[in-house]
Amino acid sequence: MIKYLDLQKINASFEPELSDALLRVCHSGWYLYGEATARFEQEFAAYCDTVHCVSTGNGLDALTLIFLAYRELGVMDAGDEIIVPANTYIATVLSILRAGLKPVLCEPAFETCNMDITYAESLITPRTRAILPVHLYGRLADMQGIYDLATRYGLKIIEDAAQAHGAIWNKGLPGKGSPALRAGSLSDAAAFSFYPAKNLGALGDGGAITTHDAELATTARSIANYGSTEKYVHLYQGINSRLDELQATVLSIKLSRLDKDNARRREIAQSYKENIDWQRLGLQSTVHTDHINEANVFHIFPVFSPRRNELQRYLTQCGISTQIHYPIPPHRQEALKKEYGMQQLPITERIHNEELSLPISPLLTNEETEHIINRINAFI
């Protein structure tokens, strides 16, 4: 059986360094707000090339804290609108709601699965405060288009970079320094998740905000710590959201191999792209129309087919496990149906009906990749 993602194998490949470091934390007697967390924040800010990194308990909190901080700073008010892709993991939408703001769902372009800029523009109202692109599947959104739109309408940009650790935008953006920019530095503030299965994954939950904005970073950090900047003094009605020393230690070790792992993901994607018989199978992929470059870190390798369920069953029989990202779009979920169920979002629905994620892991071997390709090409 080829697993969709073999986390046990991935984490074992960091041994014995990982166990040694975890034991050191265990014996240190210091588990929160310590050296390991501070070090990881510095390393991750340096990696993303942002001035600040604020670690959090998970990715949902990282997104939510950005919005809560903007509310405390008076940039956003209750009920203000945030434009967000309709085809995303529900966390993106929930973060907006949790901060008392209003998600406005935007259709993607089918070819990229990222936000359709023209559609986004049609959603802008006097209450719109921000655009929240998601670099879905590890492929960067059209940041130039989003940047132009945000500039024209005076909107904030917040990246959901939970699937795009390390992806590089090498076309530059006005006022952002060097032309090669990483996910996390392409906006006013970005949120990352270190959920175990992400390209940079902890051994549990974790998340981070990256930003150049000192005021936003300080405010978010304080809200994440019960609204406090000084022990037992509370400035805001905060929450509790922390990355602990154990997870920070794991992440520092794994960060050092992230670029290499992402390069291997691209190699596997290249092999899929070149060797799958796309035409005969009537399959499509978001990478099929795009070059495989550093703007894509292939958190997920998606293929699209009207016969998705059949293909998945067939691959399971062949001993190849796949996943679907995601079977039900947010607006069709029971949790959001009341507000969003009536919205017509045909491209979003097509993506959710046709998407199948092939195994992609930095430790997938060439033989396994070839086997997967051969089995797919034998699908009738």
Ligand X SMILES: *Cc1c(COP(=O)(O)O)cnc(C)c1O
Shortest Cβ 247–ligand X spacing (Å): 11
* Of 198, 260, 273, 338, catalytic: 198
Binding to ligand X in span 83-122, by CB under 6 A:
88-89, 91-92
Is the CB of 306 or the CB of 327 nearer to ligand X? 327
Binding to ligand X in span 196-235, by CB under 6 A:
205, 207
**Segment interacting with ligand X (CB under 6 A) among 38-46, 57-65, 213-221, 266-274:** 57-65
163 lies in the binding site for ligand X (CB under 6 A): yes
Is the CB of 205 or the CB of 354 nearer to ligand X? 205
Is the CB of 101 or the CB of 283 nearer to ligand X? 101
160 lies in the binding site for ligand X (CB under 6 A): yes
Shortest Cβ 267–ligand X spacing (Å): 23
58 lies in the binding site for ligand X (CB under 6 A): yes
Shortest Cβ 197–ligand X spacing (Å): 8
Is the CB of 307 or the CB of 332 nearer to ligand X? 332
131 lies in the binding site for ligand X (CB under 6 A): no
Is the CB of 45 or the CB of 190 nearer to ligand X? 190
Shortest Cβ 206–ligand X spacing (Å): 7
Instruction: Tell me the number of residues near ligand X by CB under 6 A.
Output: 15
Is the CB of 178 or the CB of 240 nearer to ligand X? 240
User: Shortest CA distance to 119 belongs to which of 355, 345, 354, 351?
Assistant: 345
241 lies in the binding site for ligand X (CB under 6 A): no
Binding to ligand X in span 321-360, by CB under 6 A:
none
Among this protein's residues, is 198 annotated catalytic? yes
For binding to ligand X (CB under 6 A), which residues are involved? Answer: 58-60, 88-89, 91-92, 134, 160, 162-163, 193, 195, 205, 207
Residue positions annotated with a catalytic role: 198
